Amino acid sequence: MKRRIIGLITAVALAAVGTGALVAYVRSAEDRALAGEELVGVLVVAERIEAGAAATSLEDRVVVEEVPAKVRVDGAVLDLAELTGLVAAVELLPGEQLTADRFVEPSRLVNEGLGVPDGMLEVTLSLEPERALGGRLVPGQHVAVVASFDPFDISGTIVVDGVPPDLPLPEGAAALTEAVDPDDLPTRTPNTSHIILGPVLVTNVQIDEGFEAPLDDDDEDGDTPVAPTGNLLVTLAIDAPSVERVVFAAEHGMVWLAHQPDGATLDGTRVQDRGTVYLLTEDVTP
């Protein structure tokens, strides 16, 4: 037994010595390989960067690394200030060096647009600037789609609190039973608003000839834009059922887009009407 224990200890010791020697050899090989090499700094993507992201907003998503000059990519960037005013032209993945040719003027991205993800359809909406982030949308951003409707005539349709059964119900809505007299049912829905989709990829943004965002002459720096005019044509990539919902909302109601960056959720949303906006629901105690 004692011999077995001694043999086991010896084997472990030899393994540790071998591992240490291997690590030392690898480090030595790396040092020899880099001997005489000039090291240069580059910015490397640490977190996924979506197309359309402003270069100056990427401080927390890139890191500085030193690499041999011979492996530095042409056009590699060391300071984000070099990319001021530009946006990512394509999606950038962790591990790749940041290069100037991957960034473009926002107007170029708007004109060229993005490809359509597999399995998705594209649908285009004509929206006033106030319903499309003041005209600041660019391809690659993700948005939540909000639909608002004026009252609908629902005579002869079974409804719950004025909302047809195939639509989301306001929180606290009381369910109707078969005992309810159909003559007592409301004949029109209330005005409603609700986020119906998100996140949705914006694949293209087109600006008509009347769209303008001039600078405010009264601003001492001359860089504060006033409200733009004219419509935008915003193209979204969504699945087939969602296309039907968006088209119906655009045809019979109003559509608004809300920017939905990474990490933003739609938790807590519900169908809104006058009662919910003013908190006039059954479950609210005065």
Give dist(CA 264, CA 260) in Å, integer.
6
- Assigned domain for 34 exists: no
- pLDDT class of 55 with cuts at 50, 70, 90: confident
Q: Which domain range does residue 77 map to?
A: 39-104
Between 89 and 208, where is the model more confident?
A: 89
Number of domains forming the structure of the chain = 2
Ramachandran class of 284: left when φ > 0, alpha when ψ lies in -120 to 50, beta otherwise: beta
So what's the pLDDT on residue 195?
A: 95
Specify whether 78 is located in the same domain as 133: no
How many Cα atoms sit within 13 Å of 13 on the Cβ side? 6
- Assigned domain for 182 exists: no
| Least trusted range by pLDDT, from 132-136, 147-151, 176-180, 219-223 | 176-180
Q: What is the mean pLDDT of residues 176-193?
A: 62
Through-space distance between the first and last CA atoms of the chain, rounded to whole angstroms = 82
Q: Using an 8 Å Cβ cutoff, are 137 and 202 in contact?
A: yes
Q: What is the mean pLDDT of residues 92-100?
A: 88
Altogether, the residues listed in the chain come to a count of 286
- Assigned domain for 180 exists: no
Between 19 and 136, where is the model more confident?
A: 136
Specify whether 273 is located in the same domain as 256: yes
- Assigned domain for 87 exists: yes
Give dist(CA 196, CA 239) in Å, integer.
13
- Assigned domain for 213 exists: yes
- pLDDT class of 36 with cuts at 50, 70, 90: low
Please give the full DSSP string across 240-272, using - where no structure is assigned: HHHHHHHHHHHHHSEEEEEE--TT---TT---B
- pLDDT class of 236 with cuts at 50, 70, 90: very high
So what's the pLDDT on residue 172?
A: 42
Q: Using an 8 Å Cβ cutoff, are 203 and 120 in contact?
A: no
- Assigned domain for 284 exists: no
Find all residues with CB under 8 Å of 77, minimum gap 6, and list them. Answer: 42, 43, 83, 98, 99, 100
- Assigned domain for 259 exists: yes
Tell me the pLDDT of the chain averaged across its residues. 75
Give dist(CA 86, CA 8) in Å, integer.
63
Specify whether 132 is located in the same domain as 217: yes
Show contacts of 158-165: CB within 8 Å, 24+ apart. 158/182, 158/185, 159/185, 159/186, 159/189, 162/186, 162/188, 162/189, 162/190, 162/273, 163/189, 163/190, 163/192, 163/271, 164/189
Give dist(CA 13, CA 19) in Å, integer.
10
Single pTM value for the model? 0.55
The CB density around residue 163, as the number of other CB atoms within 10 Å, is 20
So what's the pLDDT on residue 12?
A: 58
Between 14 and 129, where is the model more confident?
A: 129
Q: Which tens digit of pLDDT belongs to each residue from 42-53?
A: 889 998 887 777
Question: Residue 91: pLDDT above 90?
Answer: no
